[in-house]
Every structure is written in C-alpha cells, then in structure tokens.
Structure 1
Amino acid sequence: MRIVHVANFYGPSSGGIKTTLHELGRGYLKYGHEFIYIVPGPQYIKEQTPFGLKISLPSFTLPGSGGYQVIRSNKQLLNLLEFLNPDRIEVSDRFTLLKVGRWAKKQKIASLVFSHETLNGLIQKFAPMIPSSIRTRFVNWHNAKLAATFDVVIATTDFAAAEFVRIKAKNLRKVALGVDLVGFNPGNRNFKLRRELLKDSHFLLVHCGRMSPEKEPQRSVQAIAELVNRGIDARLVIIGGGPLWKKLRKQSENLPIEMVGYVASREKVASYLAAADITLAPGPLETFCLSALESLASGTPVVASRSSAVGEILNINSIKPAGAVAADTGVAFADEIVKLLKKGNLRKVARYQAEQFSWANTIDAMLEIHQAKQPMITTKRRLKAA
C-alpha cells in the first residue's frame, strides 16, 4: 500500500510534527508499506530517508512564525499527488490543506487528517475580542467542514477530540501518539551534565519547546522568578528557539536561567531531560505535547498547564500521577513545582506512565484505520522523475 502524508509547518527545527511523520513512516515501512511524505522546502527535492521517500516542494515562510513554512502552490501539490497515485492520503494541517481532502474525495482515495490544534483555543488566544457565541459558531462550522472533507479525523487526546465530539462528528477516531522509549530513558541521566547545568544550584528544571506565543514559554520564566523569591535554590534550562527567543532572553536577565537555543541532537535533548528534577510544559493549547512524554520516558515528572491535554498524559486523576497541572500563572506553576519536589523521587512513576504510550500501538491503530493492519505483499513501484 502506498501511503502519502502531506504536512505543512515541517522544517529543520519543527518538533512534534517532524517526529510524528518520521515515526509513522518507520512503522509503515516495517509492515511492508510504502510511505511518501510531502513537506515544505526551499525547492523541489526528492530524497530517500530511513522513514520513506521525502519530497520537498517550494514554500514560503510565515511572517513572525520563527521559520514555519507552507507549501507555496496547491496546484503543484495536487499535480504531484496525481502523479504519485497514492492508495491512502494523510494530512497534518487543518487550515491550509483542505484542498487535498477535496481532491482525494474526487479521486475516491481514502483520506484522513490529524487535528493537531484546538481551534477554539487558538481563537481565544489570538482573537480574544471575538464574542464566545460567534467563536463557537465559527469553530463548529470549520470543524464540520473539516470532518466532511476527510474520511477520518484523528485526535490524539480527549482534549483534542472535544471540539469534534461537540458537533457529533461520526468519523472521529482517537489515536494517541507514542514516544521513543529507547532513545528517551532514565539511563540517559548523566550526573556530570547535571552538575554542569546546575552551576551549584540544588534543583534543576528544564523547559523544552518552541518559543512561540501559543506555547507561552514566559510562564516558565515567571515560575523560576517566583521560586527565587521564595528562596528556593532552583535553576532553569530552556531548550528551543522561535520568535519569542530574544524576548525570553531579556526576561531571563538576572535570573538563574540558561537558554541553550534549538538543539538538533535528539540524544542531547534526551540527556537534558533525564538530568532534570522536573520539566515544564506551560503551553495551554497543547493537544498532546511530545516533549512532555519524552520527559516522562526519561524518568522526569512534568508540571503542565491545567488547560491543556498534558494532564491526560500525566494520568493526573490517578493515585500516582506522573507530575502535576497548574493554572496559567507563574505563581501557580511554582506552587506545583514545590509540591512535586517535596514528594521526592517520581522517576519510576514517570517512566511507567510513558510506557503506556508506544509508537508500536500508534502504528497498529493507524494501520487498522487504513484497513491494512496485516503486512501486505506489495510490488514496489518506481517513481518517474516528476
């Protein structure tokens, strides 16, 4: 089976989307399927990767996004899809790739779309002046349109699914994403690195994520400032780049904060996460948050926004949650950090919770949706030069 995945907002420094695409490709290939992923790039480039055939199409960069790219020509994209002749189509963008769903329906090709964002939350964040009644009507209209355009809508958590449950979308499926349980594990805890990062402080906090408005990284800065005011000897390491990086750096002045920027090496990121006492995931709109799950896999508990989906991942309502959730203020985050530090070692709890999320389970669920759960004997088709 030839599965083609189209994704905007994929790039060298993109996190969750890139990881998801790569792991889907790796899993599909393992079952004998063919995987092609089409993403934005500087020009038309075709290259074979360990995750399948990657095709980059000319794109433009969204102003103020910190480097997010979008495929420039839908016509070129649809021409390419016609040439590729896929058996199944996957899409990772609910806003700019609706034409792909419409094209797939016309061609009678089964399609699905990942809803990686909460539209209601995005509007509340970036257009708070819109009355709630109008916002609700617009969100319902857009989500109904999305559900009608694709055969299946994939939500990764109950939080992400809620908007579609509200409109009673019949083609909604919940598929949790996974985590690399080998690459991210407690064995990566390097005490030499930990000492270097602590710089004689007692507690090490890590924030790993994109420095963009919807992620609200300033919450982690506010939290460490509050901890310092309380006389708690903690230090924060911030990993990631984005449009708010300079602003965050200025806010971090005179605080025990180190900003290391974007880290390309997954091994290095894994070592940072494993070295921490607690990681912070303050994004209030997160519908999954792979970095939080990677932290748990590394044996490190997480403090996250109460208004996001991360609480589901932490199993927050259980007897032994793998972290805590807080209101969206620096004081509230500091409160929960202090409580977790007093609880002591939660590394085994964190790792156990991460083990409930494997990419093998994700691939199994996706292949079931594609009606291709069992490995198929396929004839490889060579692609002509487009």
Structure 2
Amino acid sequence: MRIVRLANFVTPVSGGLRTALDELGAGYLAAGHEPVLIVPGPAARDEQTRAGRRITIPGPVVPGMGGYRVIAGRRRVRRLLDDLGPDRLEVSDRTTLRWTGSWARAAGIRSAMVSHESLAGLLRLYRLPSRHLGDRLNRASAEAFDTVICTTDWAAAEFRRLGVPNLLRVPLGVDLTTFTPSRYDARLRAGLARPGEHLLVHCGRMSPEKRPDRSIRALAELRRRGVPAVLVVAGDGPLLGSLRERAAGLPVRFLGHLADREALAGLLATADVALAPGPVETFGLAALEALASGTPVVVSSDSALPEVVGPAGAAAEDDPAAYADAVMALLDPRFGAAARDQAERYTWPAAVQGFLRAHALIDMSVRPR
C-alpha cells in the first residue's frame, strides 16, 4: 500500500518530529508498504531515503520560528496527491494541511491526522484565546480525517473532552540501540564538568514552546544554593542569542545542534540529569532518548512528559526552586536503572504496528508497487 505522508515544520535541525517521521517511514517500508513523505523546504527535491521516498516542496518560512517552513499552495499539493494516487494519507499538521482530509474523503482514501502538539497548549503559550478557538479547530480536524492519532493520553485529552469518536492513542518509540547507558564517556565528562560537579543537559530546539530558559533558571537556583552543577545545552533555534545572554556568568556550555546521533547519545549517557521543561510537549522524544541512555529527566508538570517518564523522572512546576528540587531528587543513583527500564516500554516496532493498525493495514504487508 502506498502511504503518502504530509508534514510541516520539518528541518534538518528539527528533532522529535523528524525522528518520528523517519522511524515510522522505515517501519512502513520494512512491512512491505510504500511510504512517500512530502515536506516543505527551500527548493524542490525528490529523493530516496531509508524511510522511503521524500518529496520536498518549496514553502515559505514562518516568521519568528527560526527557519521553519510550511507547505502552501493547495493547487500544487492537490496535483501531487492526484499523481501519487495514495492508498492511505497521513498528515502531521493541523494548520495549512487540514484540507487534505477532505481531499482524501472525496477520493475514497482512508486518512489519519497525527496530533504532535497540544493545540490548546500552544494557544495558551502565545496568549491566544485557547478554549473556544482550540475546540473549534480540533473538532474540524477530527471531522476532516477518518482517524486522529495521539501519542499520549495527555495529547488525547483535548479531543476526548469534545467526545471525538475516531481517536486512537499510539505511543511513539525510541532507538534503544543508539541510546544506551553503555555510551557513557569518561573523557567527555572530564571535558564538561570538574570532579564533584553534577552534569546537567538540555537537548531540544531553542524556541519559545520548549522553554529552554527554565533550564538556565534551574541552574542559577542550584548554584545559588551552593550545589556544584553545570549545564550543557544541545540545540539551535531563534532563542539561542537571548539564552546566551541569560546564561552570562553561569557555567553553561552551548553546543548547538548535534547532527551526529552517536555524539548526542554519548552526551545523554554521560549526564547526571536531563531537563525537558517544555510545557506543551505531547510526547518528548528527547526526554525518552535520555531515559534510554540511563539518565533521569526533570519535566514540566504541565506537559505529557510525566506520563512518559513515569518513575524515572520528576515533574516540576514553572518555578526555578521546583526545578532545582527535582534535579536534587534525581541525583540518587537508583534513578539510572529506572530510566532505562522505563524507556524499554517504548519501541519503534510497536509504534509502527500501532500506526499501521490506525491505517487498517496491520496484516496487509505487500510489495511496493
């Protein structure tokens, strides 16, 4: 079966969404299906990847989003969809791509919308009227697609409250081979922290919805208490400059985006505690990669991450003292083993099976046409 997938906000330095699209595509391909991914970019491109065919459509940059682009121009997309003739449609966006659900229904094609973010949470973050507008947009999304896929109960809550009948929860997975405690690197640690110092790490995009400033504020509070902690920040984005200014005088090292997955895995395995303070995270692959590396995670109590990290992490309110308390609690060595155990509950093969079930393709492995 040809599974055509559309997604916005995907760049070479984006993290969780790009990883999920790649892993799911590779899984579809391994199951005998033909995945085709359509994303926006600076120029047109058509290529074969480990996750199947990838078609890039020139799309405009969203102002203030640090380089994120969106697919615009319905006529071009409609022609492309008509030419591809998908058997299934999977859409990872609720903004410029919602109309494709109606296109699929008119064409007699089964469709699914994947909710990678909390719309109500994003609207609150940007101080927009969240309840009424979010409900209206979520109801429109649910009506446009045959299935709405949410990765956590937290993400599904805004749809359940509306009584949406076509809702399916499918957790994502984590690469348990690349991200493992065995990647601990004593030499790397010596270069990042002095003996006796606690090494904290923040991995993620430097953008408002990720709230990376909370990690720096937590470090400042720990240092105020006399706790010998240092922070390493891995990631790039529009807030990087202001974060450097905020971190002045603190032991913070900014590494930028780590394209090398093994280098990232080594950093996560070497840290004592990871911080994932984004309040609107609906799954949090970066946090799960830290857990797989044997590193416990402090997460925002407002997000879906308390559900994901379980007993291998600690949830904190938006307060530097609360984050500092959570870090101190997770320095207990017993959380390392709990972290890996928790991560092993989430595998990509299980996620792929869940998504294929959502597409009604669970027992339909076929040769790509």
TM score, norm. by length of structure 1 = 0.94
- One-letter code aligned to 1:282: P
- Is the CA contact 1:41–1:57 (under 8 Å) kept in the aligned structure 2? yes
- Is the CA contact 2:112–2:359 (under 8 Å) kept in the aligned structure 1? no
Q: What's the CA shift for 1:94?
A: 1.1
Q: What's the CA shift for 1:147?
A: 0.2
- Whole-Å Cα distance in 2 between the matches of residues 224 and 203 of structure 1? 10
Range moving further from structure 2, 44-53 or 193-202 = 193-202
Q: What's the CA shift for 1:74?
A: 2.1
- Is the CA contact 1:305–1:328 (under 8 Å) kept in the aligned structure 2? yes
What is the match of residue 384 of structure 1? none
How do residues 1-386 of structure 1 correspond to structure 2 at under 5 angstroms? 1-127=1-127, 130=129, 135-200=130-195, 202-315=197-310, 321-341=311-331, 343-378=332-367, 380-381=368-369
Q: What's the CA shift for 1:201?
A: 5.3
Q: What's the CA shift for 1:375?
A: 4.8
- One-letter code aligned to 2:346: F
Q: What's the CA shift for 1:351?
A: 0.2
- Whole-Å Cα distance in 1 between the matches of residues 161 and 359 of structure 2? 25
SS in 2 for 1:346: helix
Q: Deviations over 1:227-247 (max 9, x none)?
A: 000000010000001010000
Q: What's the CA shift for 1:194?
A: 1.1
SS in 2 for 1:60: coil
Which residues of structure 1 form unaligned runs of 5+?
316-320, 382-386
- Is the CA contact 1:31–1:374 (under 8 Å) kept in the aligned structure 2? no
- Whole-Å Cα distance in 1 between the matches of residues 74 and 285 of structure 2? 29
Range moving further from structure 2, 365-374 or 301-310 = 365-374
- Whole-Å Cα distance in 2 between the matches of residues 251 and 140 of structure 1? 36
Q: What's the CA shift for 1:376?
A: 2.5
- One-letter code aligned to 2:276: A
Q: What's the CA shift for 1:174?
A: 0.3
SS in 1 for 2:191: helix
Kindly tell me the number of residue pairs found equivalent between the two proteins: 369
- Whole-Å Cα distance in 2 between the matches of residues 166 and 99 of structure 1? 23
- Is the CA contact 1:164–1:172 (under 8 Å) kept in the aligned structure 2? yes
Q: What's the CA shift for 1:367?
A: 1.3
Query: Which runs of 4 or more aligned residues in structure 1 lie more than 4 Å from their structure 2 counterparts after TM superposition?
Result: none
- Whole-Å Cα distance in 1 between the matches of residues 71 and 362 of structure 2? 31
Q: What's the CA shift for 1:368?
A: 1.5
SS in 1 for 2:138: helix
- Whole-Å Cα distance in 2 between the matches of residues 96 and 146 of structure 1? 11
Q: What's the CA shift for 1:200?
A: 4.5
Q: Deviations over 1:23-44 (max 9, x none)?
A: 0111011111111100111222
Range moving further from structure 2, 98-107 or 119-128 = 119-128
SS in 2 for 1:69: coil
- Whole-Å Cα distance in 2 between the matches of residues 27 and 77 of structure 1? 25
- Whole-Å Cα distance in 1 between the matches of residues 59 and 175 of structure 2? 30
SS in 2 for 1:374: coil
- Is the CA contact 1:201–1:235 (under 8 Å) kept in the aligned structure 2? no
SS in 2 for 1:32: coil
- Is the CA contact 2:112–2:358 (under 8 Å) kept in the aligned structure 1? no
Q: Deviations over 1:292-334 (max 9, x none)?
A: 000000000000000100000112xxxxx10100001111100
- Whole-Å Cα distance in 2 between the matches of residues 6 and 363 of structure 1? 17
- Whole-Å Cα distance in 2 between the matches of residues 29 and 121 of structure 1? 33
SS in 1 for 2:215: helix
- Whole-Å Cα distance in 1 between the matches of residues 123 and 308 of structure 2? 24
- One-letter code aligned to 2:57: L
